[in-house]
């Protein structure tokens, strides 16, 4: 189409205007955290642009906001050399380390002792370093740190991070490299781990590991979904040893940070220019206490000389620049008295001990409860009620008891006694049971009130039946008064009954009844998830609902048919079959159906069955796989009819070798068993994924 074509001109203008608007709102949202329009309005802009581009494919450009995830998973990452090595930082763990650094800097620059040097103090973001290359203002490449000299080209994943602009706001000619950190905000981390737990995948230990794991995946769409963020803090000088060579460039680091922000790049806003080390130390002290208020994890403060020419004069050692240092925050630990050890009964009957503590301030919150894992762990650490214990924000999520302070253990009559795991359920007094090789004790009673309460809360949860207003206080009353014994009883409740409960007016009672009524229309995928069948998370429930269409199809499915659903596997399949074969559960399902709860799904798209391409073959997994967890790899093999075992023998068909494989690799070689790397393994399981 010629540019004089009126339609084309019109479309070009519209496309340009939409792109400018989307970029603007992306910056407001992801960089400045101050959106001007609602998510719905934003989605409308993006949709209009997508439609226009579909109608005028000739107008699509690589830096259009629609092209962040261009739908092409990559085969692997190429390694590329950094134009200048990506250095690490020297650390200081005490304030004395900062003073010593200040003295070294002063000496190196030959300033009079006592004359304050100007520094910039920035929060140290706990993520993974990234180098972004822009050419004439367009993002052309993203590279991980790697070994500092060579990193991996992760451009496709970097493009999927919404906070990273594909084009800079102001014209920046030529090649520019900016460096910074990619991280996972704590809220995204919590959401992601909740999803993993439901899918039966092991949780990530902390946001940093999760961010690193995400960047290693070969699927940009997944990166986009996980909600990674980026913060930039370094502009690579074309000629680092002589920054004065470019008259346009700022002379100080503080001006660089302002420059980066003016380009539309995300910059952490709490940095501070400090005149001398005393101000730096005050900044470090302040943030050691305030760090929890941030939406991301920070593990310290980075202190950098402000003047860029002075930086060049100081230079660097083999590993670190001499002009910067990282101050690491002290570990967040506290001591307090362990008042007692209680046990909690979960939805599946798992009985787990936890610590009740004398309230203590830790990481910005008051801590009164902490995890103790299981009875064996308590015995191993010799933690006793009455001890003074050391508590820590473990993995930075839930506090855990690290150890008892044995030197402070009371003696004589007040001496604490070892913990004894109860032998009966604290709720219903049923003797606890545990599988032979398990550490978890369970209450086997199906009508245990604690299990019922948890089961009801799970059923009512937003991602299950979404019954708003059915919270803990109400569930407790309903169960205690025996008004509800299972999820089907909810559908027999009447407003008059609810009104008699505490803190229940007639309005809330009517609303709750309407909510319960409304939940009957939920899709069967939600119903199945809400039933709380062991091992059936939201994902598996959805897959099963899609494949079998609803309850009737599910009831008719054999164990093999269940296990053949991609992403389901034998453990989930067995659990579903056991659940469905239990007459009590069948009665429950009947009652739900009679009450009018939907037992079909709208999510019709049938999932193709996977060819049993690995049937009869036994696999051993060793080392860490970059693109998937061990559980995912296992599921993928089992879904294709293969078996996974932990022990390697001549009968093993194949060993999948990840990073840091350990002794199994040597053993496989000596036994002559086939070994394949991650890529070959992916090919094996991708072949039939279409
Ligand atoms: S400056 C040569 N500033 O911490 C300058 N690094 O432990 C190098 N980091 O490799 C880095 N926040 O990945 C700098 N505000 C910040 C930072 C920061 C996090 C990371 C970075 C570096 C590591 C060193």
The SS3 of residue 481 is coil
Q: Cα–chain-centroid distance for residue 640?
A: 28
Q: Cα–chain-centroid distance for residue 249?
A: 38
Residue whose CA lies nearest to ligand 1 atom number 13: 129
Q: What pLDDT does 147 receive?
A: 86
Among 86, 91, 125, 261, residue to substitute to test ligand 1 (most atoms within 8 Å of Cβ):
125
Q: What pLDDT does 146 receive?
A: 87
pLDDT at 39 over 90: no
Residue whose CA lies nearest to ligand 1 atom number 2: 87
The SS3 of residue 95 is helix
pLDDT at 240 over 80: no
Q: Shortest CA distance to 309 belongs to which of 261, 239, 259, 372?
A: 239
Strand partners, 404: 389
DSSP annotation of 222? H
Residue whose CA lies nearest to ligand 1 atom number 10: 88
Computed over every residue of the chain, the mean pLDDT equals 88
CB of 326 sitting under 6 A from ligand 1: yes
Q: What pLDDT does 666 receive?
A: 87
Which of ligand 1's atoms lies nearest the C-alpha of 128? Answer: 13
307 Cα: distance to centroid of ligand 1 (angstroms): 18
Say what percent of the chain tops pLDDT 70. 92
39-55 vs 6-26: helix axis angle to the nearest 10? 150
- The 10s digit of each residue's pLDDT in 391-444 is 987 544 578 899 999 999 999 988 999 999 999 999 999 999 998 888 889 999
Q: Which CATH architecture has domain 449-519?
A: Orthogonal Bundle (1.10)
Residue whose CA lies nearest to ligand 1 atom number 9: 124
> Among the listed ranges 124-133, 290-299, 600-609, 660-669, which one has the minimum average pLDDT value?
600-609
Correct CATH for 333-414 of 3.40.50.300, 3.90.180.10, 2.40.50.140, 1.10.3720.10: 2.40.50.140
Dihedral sign, CA of 446, 448, 449, 451? negative
231 Cα: distance to centroid of ligand 1 (angstroms): 11
Q: What are the structure tokens assigned to 548, written together?
A: 């079998």
CB of 563 sitting under 6 A from ligand 1: no
CB of 311 sitting under 6 A from ligand 1: no
- pLDDT (average), residues 128-147: 94
pLDDT at 326 over 80: yes
Fold of 6-67: Helix Hairpins (1.10.287)
Is the fold of 449-519 the same as that of 524-594? Answer: yes
Q: Mapped to the 3 state alphabet, what secondary structure does 131-171 carry?
A: EEEEECCEEEEEEECCCCCEEEECHHHHHCCCCCCCECCCC
Q: Shortest CA distance to 453 belongs to which of 419, 432, 477?
A: 477
Q: What pLDDT does 2 receive?
A: 43
* Beta strands 441-442 and 399-404, pairing class: unpaired
Q: What pLDDT does 6 receive?
A: 47
Q: What pLDDT does 520 receive?
A: 96
Compute the distance between CA of residue 582 and CA of residue 587 in angstroms, rounded to an integer. Answer: 9
- The 10s digit of each residue's pLDDT in 535-584 is 898 888 988 998 898 999 999 999 999 988 877 888 899 999 999 999 99
Superfamily designation of domain 524-594? 5' to 3' exonuclease, C-terminal subdomain (1.10.150.20)
CB of 151 sitting under 6 A from ligand 1: no
- Whether 664 is catalytic is no
Which of ligand 1's atoms lies nearest the C-alpha of 268? Answer: 15
Q: What pLDDT does 177 receive?
A: 97
Q: What pLDDT does 689 receive?
A: 39
Residue with the bigger pLDDT between 647 and 331: it is: 647
Q: What pLDDT does 690 receive?
A: 28
- The 10s digit of each residue's pLDDT in 624-633 is 887 777 877 8
Q: What pLDDT does 583 receive?
A: 95
- The 10s digit of each residue's pLDDT in 356-382 is 999 998 865 678 889 888 899 999 999
CB-based contacts of 677, cutoff 8 Å, min separation 6: 656, 657
Residue with the bigger pLDDT between 669 and 71: it is: 669
Q: What pLDDT does 605 receive?
A: 47
CB of 87 sitting under 6 A from ligand 1: yes
CB-based contacts of 122, cutoff 8 Å, min separation 6: 233, 268, 270, 271, 301, 302, 304
- In the chain, what are the domain boundaries? 6-67, 105-281+292-318, 333-414, 449-519, 524-594, 618-689
669 Cα: distance to centroid of ligand 1 (angstroms): 41
Task: Answer yes or no: are the C-beta atoms of 127 and 305 closer than 8 Å.
Answer: no
105 Cα: distance to centroid of ligand 1 (angstroms): 19
Compute the distance between CA of residue 664 and CA of residue 285 in angstroms, rounded to an integer. Answer: 48
Specify the length of the chain in residues.
690
Cα torsion through 109, 113, 115, 117, rounded to 10: 40
Q: What pLDDT does 430 receive?
A: 96
Which of ligand 1's atoms lies nearest the C-alpha of 123? Answer: 15
186-198 vs 538-548: helix axis angle to the nearest 10? 50
Which of ligand 1's atoms lies nearest the C-alpha of 326? Answer: 7
Task: Answer yes or no: are the C-beta atoms of 178 and 240 closer than 8 Å.
Answer: no
299 Cα: distance to centroid of ligand 1 (angstroms): 11
Task: Answer yes or no: are the C-beta atoms of 465 and 527 closer than 8 Å.
Answer: yes
456 Cα: distance to centroid of ligand 1 (angstroms): 47
Q: What pLDDT does 293 receive?
A: 86
Say what percent of the chain tops pLDDT 90. 57
- Phi, psi dihedral angles at 286 (to 5 degrees): -60, -45
315 Cα: distance to centroid of ligand 1 (angstroms): 17
CB of 181 sitting under 6 A from ligand 1: yes
Q: What pLDDT does 302 receive?
A: 98
Of 107, 124, 319, 381, catalytic: 124
CB of 231 sitting under 6 A from ligand 1: no
Q: How confident is the model at residue 239 (pLDDT cuts 50, 70, 90)?
A: low
CB of 125 sitting under 6 A from ligand 1: yes
- DSSP letters along 655-675, please? EEE-BS-THHHHHHHHHT-EE
125 Cα: distance to centroid of ligand 1 (angstroms): 7
Superfamily designation of domain 105-281+292-318? DNA ligase/mRNA capping enzyme (3.30.470.30)
CB of 159 sitting under 6 A from ligand 1: no
Task: Answer yes or no: are the C-beta atoms of 316 and 322 closer than 8 Å.
Answer: yes
Q: Does domain 618-689 have CATH number 2.60.120.10?
A: no
Among 120, 233, 271, 312, residue to substitute to test ligand 1 (most atoms within 8 Å of Cβ):
233
CB of 396 sitting under 6 A from ligand 1: no
Number of other CB atoms surrounding residue 230 within 10 Å: 25
Among 89, 148, 229, 305, residue to substitute to test ligand 1 (most atoms within 8 Å of Cβ):
89
Residue whose CA lies nearest to ligand 1 atom number 5: 87
CB of 129 sitting under 6 A from ligand 1: yes
- The 10s digit of each residue's pLDDT in 492-548 is 999 999 999 988 888 989 999 999 999 999 999 999 999 999 889 888 898 899 889
Number of other CB atoms surrounding residue 317 within 10 Å: 9
89 Cα: distance to centroid of ligand 1 (angstroms): 7
Name residue, tokens 């700022």: 250
Residue whose CA lies nearest to ligand 1 atom number 23: 88
Among 129, 211, 260, residue to substitute to test ligand 1 (most atoms within 8 Å of Cβ):
129
- pLDDT (average), residues 147-159: 92
Per 3-state DSSP, what percentage of the chain is helix, strand, and coil (rounded to 5)? 40, 20, 40
Q: What pLDDT does 439 receive?
A: 86
Which of ligand 1's atoms lies nearest the C-alpha of 91? Answer: 7
> Among the listed ranges 46-50, 51-55, 191-195, 437-441, which one has the minimum average pLDDT value?
191-195
pLDDT at 123 over 80: yes
CB of 443 sitting under 6 A from ligand 1: no
Q: How confident is the model at residue 72 (pLDDT cuts 50, 70, 90)?
A: low
Task: Answer yes or no: are the C-beta atoms of 344 and 135 closer than 8 Å.
Answer: no
């Amino acid at each position: 189409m010629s540019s004089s074509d009126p339609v084309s001109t019109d479309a070009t203008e519209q496309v340009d205007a939409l792109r400018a608007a989307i970029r603007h709102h992306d910056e407001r949202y992801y960089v400045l955290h101050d959106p001007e329009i609602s998510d719905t309005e934003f989605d409308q802009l993006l949709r209009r642009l997508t439609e226009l581009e579909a109608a005028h494919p000739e107008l699509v450009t690589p830096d259009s906001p629609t092209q962040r995830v261009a739908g092409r998973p990559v085969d692997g990452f190429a390694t590329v050399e950094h134009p200048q090595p990506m250095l690490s930082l020297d650390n200081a763990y005490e304030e004395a380390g900062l003073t010593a650094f200040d003295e070294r800097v002063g000496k190196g620059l030959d300033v009079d002792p006592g004359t304050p040097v100007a520094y910039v103090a920035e929060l140290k973001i706990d993520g993974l370093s990234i180098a972004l290359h822009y050419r004439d203002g367009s993002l052309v490449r993203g590279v991980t740190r790697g070994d500092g000299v060579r990193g991996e080209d992760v451009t496709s994943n970097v493009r999927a991070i919404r906070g990273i602009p594909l084009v800079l706001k102001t014209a920046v000619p030529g090649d520019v490299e900016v460096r910074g950190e990619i991280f996972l905000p704590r809220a995204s981390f919590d959401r992601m781990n909740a999803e993993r737990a439901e899918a039966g995948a092991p949780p990530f230990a902390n946001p940093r590991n999760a961010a690193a794991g995400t960047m290693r995946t070969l699927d940009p769409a997944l990166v986009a979904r996980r909600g990674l963020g980026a913060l930039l803090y370094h502009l690579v000088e074309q000629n680092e040893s002589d920054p004065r060579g470019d008259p346009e460039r700022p002379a100080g680091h503080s001006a660089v940070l302002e420059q980066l922000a003016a380009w539309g790049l995300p910059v952490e806003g709490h940095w501070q220019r400090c005149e001398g080390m005393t101000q730096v130390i005050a900044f470090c002290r302040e943030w050691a206490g305030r760090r929890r208020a941030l939406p991301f994890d920070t593990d310290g403060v980075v202190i950098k000389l402000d003047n860029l020419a002075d930086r060049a004069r100081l230079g660097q050692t083999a590993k670190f620049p001499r002009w910067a240092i990282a101050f690491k925050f002290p570990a967040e630990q506290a001591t307090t008295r362990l008042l007692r050890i209680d046990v909690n009964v979960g939805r599946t009957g798992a009985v787990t001990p936890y610590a009740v503590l004398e309230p203590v301030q830790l990481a910005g919150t008051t801590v009164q409860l902490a995890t103790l894992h299981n009875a064996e762990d308590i015995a191993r650490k010799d933690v006793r009620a009455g001890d003074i214990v050391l508590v820590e924000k473990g993995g930075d999520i839930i506090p855990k008891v690290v150890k008892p302070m044995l030197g402070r253990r009371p003696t004589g009559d007040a001496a604490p006694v070892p913990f004894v795991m109860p032998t009966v359920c604290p709720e219903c007094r049923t003797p606890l049971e545990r599988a032979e090789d398990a550490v978890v004790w369970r209450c086997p009673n199906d009508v245990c009130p604690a299990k019922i309460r948890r089961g009801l809360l799970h059923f009512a949860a937003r991602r299950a039946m979404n019954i708003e207003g059915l919270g803990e206080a109400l569930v407790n009353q309903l169960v205690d008064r025996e008004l509800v014994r299972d999820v089907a009883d909810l559908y027999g409740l009447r407003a008059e009954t609810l009104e008699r409960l505490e803190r229940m007016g007639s309005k809330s009672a009517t609303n709750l009844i309407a909510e319960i009524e409304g939940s009957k229309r939920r899709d069967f995928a939600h119903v199945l998830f809400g039933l709380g069948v062991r091992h059936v998370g939201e994902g598996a429930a959805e897959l099963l609902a899609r494949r079998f269409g609803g309850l009737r199809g599910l009831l008719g499915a054999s164990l093999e048919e269940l296990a053949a659903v991609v992403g389901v596997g034998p453990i989930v399949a067995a659990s579903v079959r056991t659940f469905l074969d239990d007459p009590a559960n069948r009665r429950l399902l009947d009652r739900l159906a009679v009450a009018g709860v939907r037992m079909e799904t709208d999510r019709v798209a049938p999932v193709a069955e996977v060819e049993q391409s690995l049937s009869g073959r036994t696999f051993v997994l060793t080392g860490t796989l970059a693109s998937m967890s061990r559980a995912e790899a296992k599921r993928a093999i089992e879904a294709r009819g293969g078996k996974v075992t932990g022990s390697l023998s001549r009968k093993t068909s194949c060993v999948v070798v990840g990073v840091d494989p350990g002794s199994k690799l040597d053993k496989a070689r000596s036994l002559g068993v086939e070994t394949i790397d991650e890529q070959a393994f992916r090919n094996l399981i991708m072949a039939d994924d279409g």
